[in-house]
Amino acid sequence: MTPIEERKCKNCGSTELDEATDYLLLRKSKVSFVGSEKVYTFCTNCGEVQSIRLTNPNVFKK
């Protein structure tokens, strides 16, 4: 994975990208107790979201 500092925004070309998480977990169903946080990589200049990844994708494997 390319370090955040070396990537450019696809929308405006800025190199000012940052990461943040969502407070809701991504879950298999409404009754599931386990899930994974989502990490958003976004441009701090225009707000374009570059990627969304899960911190623990293994919870979705059978």
- 40 Cβ partners below 8 Å, 6+ apart? 19, 20, 21, 22, 49, 51, 52
Q: What was the pLDDT predicted at 33?
A: 85
Digitized pLDDT (tens) for each residue of the chain, 62 residues in all: 555 546 899 999 999 999 999 888 889 888 888 899 999 999 999 999 999 999 999 988 87
From 43, 62, 3, 52, select the one nearest 24 (Cα to Cα). 52
Q: What was the pLDDT predicted at 22?
A: 86
Q: What was the pLDDT predicted at 3?
A: 56
Helix (H, G, I), strand (E, B) or coil at 21: strand
Q: What was the pLDDT predicted at 36?
A: 93
Helix, strand, coil shares, percent, the chain, to 5 = 10, 30, 60
Q: What was the pLDDT predicted at 37?
A: 94
List of domains in the chain: 4-28+36-52 (2.20.25)
